Amino acid sequence: MEGKNRWYISYKVAHGCVMEIAKNEAEAIDAACGMFNQGIDIQEVGPMIEPPEGKLIGPAEIRKIQGTRLAA
């Protein structure tokens, strides 16, 4: 089914929050890490369709993933 695994990246802008859509979890995490590198205030990453329980990735976790990637 097309779009079934899509994920979003939510981040702050001057007057609120914006969402970008990614094809899957890995792409969403990659995009969030890239935004984090640019100083963008990431709010969370999560699935669009599936129930979010246990799948939401907050800013602290994105920072941790990015730190691990930079250390590699």
Mapped to the 3 state alphabet, what secondary structure does the chain carry?
A: CCCCCCEEEEEEECCEEEEEEECCHHHHHHHHHHHHHCCCCEEEEEECCCCCCCCCECHHHHHHHHHHHHHC
At residue 70, the pLDDT reads: 83
Q: Residue 26 falls within a domain, yes or no?
A: yes
Q: Residue 2 falls within a domain, yes or no?
A: no
At residue 16, the pLDDT reads: 93
Q: Residue 30 falls within a domain, yes or no?
A: yes
66 pLDDT higher than 90: no
- Domain assignment of residue 13, given as a range: 7-71
Q: Residue 1 falls within a domain, yes or no?
A: no
1 pLDDT higher than 50: no
Q: Residue 29 falls within a domain, yes or no?
A: yes
- Phi, psi at residue 28, to the nearest 5°? -65, -45
Number of domains within the chain: 1
56 pLDDT higher than 50: yes
Q: Residue 34 falls within a domain, yes or no?
A: yes
Higher pLDDT, 4 or 22: 22
